[in-house]
Amino acid sequence: MTTAAFTGHVMLKVQSPHSIRPEGQLEDRSYMLRGARLSGRKRRVLAEAENVKEEGSSEVAPPKQTGQGCTDRTGVPPSDNKSSTLQVPAPPSPLQLMSNAPYQPNQLNLTQHLQALHSKFWGQGDAARAVILHTETHQLGKEIEKFTVLNLGPGFETFFGGRSTILVREEYKRLITALSTPSDSAYGAGLIGQPGIGKSTFMHYLLVERVLSGRRTMFQCDSDVIYELDKDGVSTRSTLDFFPEPSRDWALVDISDSLAIPYENLDSQFNIMAFRPAPEGWRNWCESRRAAAGVVRPWTKHEIVYAGLRTCHPPLNADRLQEAFDNHGPSPRLCFCFAQYPQCMVEWERDTARTIAEVACKDHNLFATSVLFVREWDHPSLYHQVFLVDLSETGLSPNVSIITPLVVRLIAEEMDRQGGPKVWEEFDMFGCSPHHDSGRRIWASHSMSAIISGEARQTKLRCITRLPGADRQTLESAELTLPLPHPVPYDDVESWLQELNKARTCPTLFQPRVWIESAFDSILVTPNYITFFETTVSHHIGATRAGLYGRLDALVGALTMANLRGQLPSESCKWRLVFVVPKCDLTAWVYVPKWRAEIPEGDWKEHLDLFVLCPEVGVLEIKERPISRCRVSA
């Protein structure tokens, strides 16, 4: 008997097609749940009890699943047999988590599922959707959202990688709309996304939609077999001799461990091809067929929590799901595993640190990439543990960023170990588009750590806003005492105001608990000034200046509403915006012209000064302005 490592679902045993038992049922008609033997009678009672939602409870009751095992409210599988033994399956290893094991096709089970799917749902359209789709409302913190789940019902317990119920994401609807239609110029679409993000689930969902609509479809997820579904039924074709006539019917192909490369058999159809994110697999295929590359957007935290409660049996712990999301990214495969096996998260973090060390030894600038390049070398775990594959801001192409703040910190620590200042001088964190933040977030982690936990010393902030009428060469400076105090974490502007009211020491340093684009990296509050540290822009600041001033405007409004006017910029409380920059960019920053003239009008902005700081340099003597820098533009 095989247990699905990622969800806690029980997978079907290999069975004779003439003798199909419900999922998890043994030959003596008892059942196995995560290794525990249950009698059929007791299992039915537990299944009914598990699906009765307690009055007044805010939990999402899991749907009834024929053949699914159940536990009591403590999550411990009960037993009515003193001789029964609990055989807890071993947690999956990092290598197993990187495979797509839940979707490795068992041809017998898959064939039976497809035949049942055709028999029950072919051409049923909205009438069937009304039965299998259910919309529910769920609240997580202050956030309330509506979600749709799809439950195919009895007989489909392993259709969606070990379950019959899935969350129908809004992202799936967007992808269906965005997929190219057959034409002479574009004949196919490549689907890419983060490992474990749900590409295979989407392909199976898309197949269900095609069956409901009664549309002929080819489906392949194994190197030996192609399934053809049409009005006459389901045909199993060998890849050796199946070459269908050209048509605009869809062929859904799921690249996996069982199907490493796309076959040419289905080139005459309109291909929707799900690829791993590494570009050597999908880029040439898309370019040769002028096919669009669609990207499955990452899951939100609310989607992860809801799916873990609603589609997993037993329901997973919401707090563990959120912790897994924050530390290791938006992959439901990982989050579900880590919520079920907390010890796996520790092992995954250790393995991620090893991966980062191996990549850093090869080329630390790989961490600063923003797009999916075909390179001579890519670490096999790069897209599982380091990079997050997402859709670009334009919505037209994929890009990548560092997956979570934890991984950013691990990268910064490894680069410090690899060579310290010399490595940081060579790190091309500002070589990419100004809208991309991967390298800059690594720099932010390193630089803020350097000035918070660095050695005690006085350093200079170089002012880059001249007073009106001042000589062009006149640069003011201010001293900063290092190290800065231990930071107080906050979640948003509202919680920052609460922490500001509670602050009993001065100076006080505040940092966002999780890095977000709309927050400064740190805020230092003293009796005479407030300093905002910004590490994620280069000296080409034109594209991001408005956003920076917008943040300051928002803080002014929040302080005014909270009646904390004493903290507003004034003669008695100056504001400083400090750009923390690498050594290689320091000279260009010092000579950026016209800062004062380009600050938007407003009384409070007269009390704002802009400074530049390099934690690697300390006190820097400003020499006469080099001619080569005269035309550096803001």
pLDDT of residue 315: 94
Q: How many residues does the chain have?
A: 634
Same domain? For 140 and 271 the reply is yes
Residue 554, phi then psi, degrees to nearest 5: -65, -40
In a domain, 321, yes or no: no
Same domain? For 145 and 188 the reply is yes
pLDDT of residue 454 exceeding 50:
yes
Which of 315-324, 422-431, 464-473, 578-587 bottoms out in mean pLDDT, i.e. has the lowest? Answer: 464-473
**Position 15 confidence tier, pLDDT thresholds 50, 70, 90:** very low
pLDDT of residue 229: 97
pLDDT of residue 277 exceeding 70:
yes
pLDDT of residue 367 exceeding 60:
yes
CB distance 308 to 335 below 8 Å: yes
Dihedral of CA 290/291/292/294: which sign? negative
Q: Which SS3 state, helix, strand or coil, does residue 139 take?
A: strand
- Amino acid identity, position 620: L
Same domain? For 437 and 462 the reply is no
Q: Decide: residue 182, CB within 10 A, 0-12 exposed, 13-18 middle, 19+ buried.
A: middle
CB distance 565 to 497 below 8 Å: no
**pLDDT, tens digit (0-9, with 9 covering 90-100), for 166-182:** 999 999 989 988 776 66
Query: How far is the C-alpha of 528 from the C-alpha of 117, rounded, in Å?
Result: 71
Per-residue pLDDT, averaged over 347-372, amounts to 87
Same domain? For 431 and 481 the reply is no
In a domain, 475, yes or no: yes
**Position 622 confidence tier, pLDDT thresholds 50, 70, 90:** very low
Cα angle value 43/103/46 (rounded, 5°): 10
Beta bridge partners of 511: 489
Cα angle value 462/408/377 (rounded, 5°): 115
pLDDT of residue 371: 74
Cis peptide before 485 (omega within 30 of 0): no
Per-residue pLDDT, averaged over 465-479, amounts to 60
**Position 256 confidence tier, pLDDT thresholds 50, 70, 90:** confident
Query: How far is the C-alpha of 511 from the C-alpha of 452, rounded, in Å?
Result: 11
Same domain? For 545 and 608 the reply is yes
In a domain, 102, yes or no: no
Query: How far is the C-alpha of 214 from the C-alpha of 171, rounded, in Å?
Result: 23
Same domain? For 467 and 606 the reply is yes
- Amino acid identity, position 537: V
In a domain, 91, yes or no: no
In a domain, 259, yes or no: yes
Q: Could you give the number of structural domains in the chain?
A: 3
Q: What percent of the chain has pLDDT over 90?
A: 33
Q: Which domain holds residue 287?
A: 107-295
Per-residue pLDDT, averaged over 505-525, amounts to 86
pTM of this prediction exceeds 0.85: no
pLDDT of residue 71: 34
**Higher-scoring residue by pLDDT: 425, 69:** 425
pLDDT of residue 126: 97
Same domain? For 192 and 140 the reply is yes
**Higher-scoring residue by pLDDT: 544, 262:** 262
Cα angle value 329/334/339 (rounded, 5°): 105
**Higher-scoring residue by pLDDT: 602, 498:** 498
**Which residues are CB-contacts of 41 (< 8 A; sequence separation ≥ 6)?**
none
**pLDDT, tens digit (0-9, with 9 covering 90-100), for 567-600:** 998 888 989 999 888 877 777 776 665 555 666 6
Same domain? For 421 and 526 the reply is no
In a domain, 447, yes or no: no
Same domain? For 396 and 348 the reply is yes
pLDDT of residue 508: 93
Which of 146-160, 402-416, 445-459, 614-628 bottoms out in mean pLDDT, i.e. has the lowest? Answer: 614-628
Q: What is the CATH number of the domain that holds 258?
A: 3.40.50
Mean pLDDT of all residues belonging to the chain:
77
In a domain, 149, yes or no: yes
Same domain? For 462 and 429 the reply is no
pLDDT of residue 616 exceeding 80:
no
**Position 140 confidence tier, pLDDT thresholds 50, 70, 90:** very high
Same domain? For 254 and 111 the reply is yes
Which of 310-314, 492-496, 543-547 bottoms out in mean pLDDT, i.e. has the lowest? Answer: 543-547
Which H or E element spans position 554? helix 545-561
Beta bridge partners of 33: 36
pLDDT of residue 102 exceeding 90:
no
CB distance 83 to 336 below 8 Å: no
Per-residue pLDDT, averaged over 551-560, amounts to 91
pLDDT of residue 313: 86
Per-residue pLDDT, averaged over 140-168, amounts to 91
Q: Which SS3 state, helix, strand or coil, does residue 256 take?
A: strand
Same domain? For 394 and 472 the reply is no
In a domain, 33, yes or no: no
Which of 366-370, 469-473, 572-576 bottoms out in mean pLDDT, i.e. has the lowest? Answer: 469-473
pLDDT of residue 34: 32
pLDDT of residue 475 exceeding 70:
no
Query: Burial letters for 367-389: b for 16+ Cβ neighbours within 10 Å, e otherwise?
Result: bbbbebeeeeebbebbbbbbbbb
Per-residue pLDDT, averaged over 490-516, amounts to 87
